[in-house]
Structure 1
Amino acid sequence: MENRGDKWEWPEELDALVAAPEHHRLLSENGYVRVIDTLIPPGEITKLHTHKWPASLYVISWSDFIRYDEDNNIVLDSRNLASTPVPASSLWSEALAPHSLKNIGDKDIHIISVEIKNTNGSA
């Protein structure tokens, strides 16, 4: 999902911090980045939400999950990934359209996301 911040098609009410605050906490924000702490305990499912900007993800802890789209269709089952991220590893994520995520494993999903708000180099 390509996004430059000015062409986002979903309402701000679906932003992760607004729509799913039980699982997303703002750590820092400026004109360039937004840093979010995501924590999803085993068995929990997030409310439908979006991630407006691409992000570098730092894995604190990992668990298997299923990501659903806004119509409750499965769009990703982490058990089908080619490799499983380990703690202290990092990943890249493009912006994410409306989705919910269910932790189907036995550990917390704990991720620090550094969302790249501005790709043109100015705040």
Structure 2
Amino acid sequence: MADPIAVNPQHYRLVFENDRVRVLEYSDGPGDSTGTHSHPDSVMVTLSSFARRLRSGGREVDVELQAGQARWLDAQEHSGTNTGSTPTHCLFIELKEPRQETSGMDEQHLPATHTGRLGPVPS
């Protein structure tokens, strides 16, 4: 796994960490990009409204989010570019405990490894 802080120290800052979670703050400006890095299963909290293009494994997805949202982010590796006209500012609450597989989950709640989802899960 490519740690976001090691790959992109100008954009990521460690806010809090214990044996169960790690909280990262992310910020950038219009046109800024990140190198390829990984996130475990996480909750992303948007502190600003922003637009981004995420890339992974030959796929691209455009994401536009409003400030004040909390979104689930399945474990994934990606790079990204701020494609909007405003800064990106958000928090990632990364889970350290492994996912417990659950049978009978509907498509909306399946992990990325099952759906191939890139970026945050729509609410």
Fold shared, TM-score > 0.5 on shorter chain = yes
Deviations 1:72-93 (A, max 9, x none): x342112xxxxx5321111110
2:69 is the alignment partner of 1:89: yes
Paired with 1:50 and 1:105, the residues of 2 have a C-alpha distance of 23
Code of the residue aligned with 2:52 in structure 1: it is F
Code of the residue aligned with 2:75 in structure 1: it is A
Point out where structure 1 has 5 or more consecutive residues left out of the alignment: 1-9, 79-83
TM-score (norm 2): 0.73
TM-score (norm 1): 0.73
Match of 2:11 among 4, 11, 23: 23
The corresponding residue for 1:32 is 20
Point out where structure 2 has 5 or more consecutive residues left out of the alignment: 100-123
The corresponding residue for 2:81 is 102
Give the length in aligned residue pairs: 99
Q: After TM superposition, list the pairs within 5 Å mapping 1:30-69 onto structure 2.
A: 30-51=18-39, 53-69=40-56
CA contact (8 A) 2:30 2:84 kept: yes
Paired with 1:85 and 1:106, the residues of 2 have a C-alpha distance of 13
The corresponding residue for 2:119 is none
CA contact (8 A) 2:50 2:66 kept: no
Give the Å deviation of 1:62: 2.4
Higher relative contact order (CA 8 A, sep 6+): 1
SS of match in other structure, 2:65:
coil
Deviations 1:13-52 (A, max 9, x none): x11011111111100100000000011211101112111x
Paired with 1:95 and 1:108, the residues of 2 have a C-alpha distance of 24
CA contact (8 A) 1:66 1:74 kept: no
The corresponding residue for 2:95 is 116
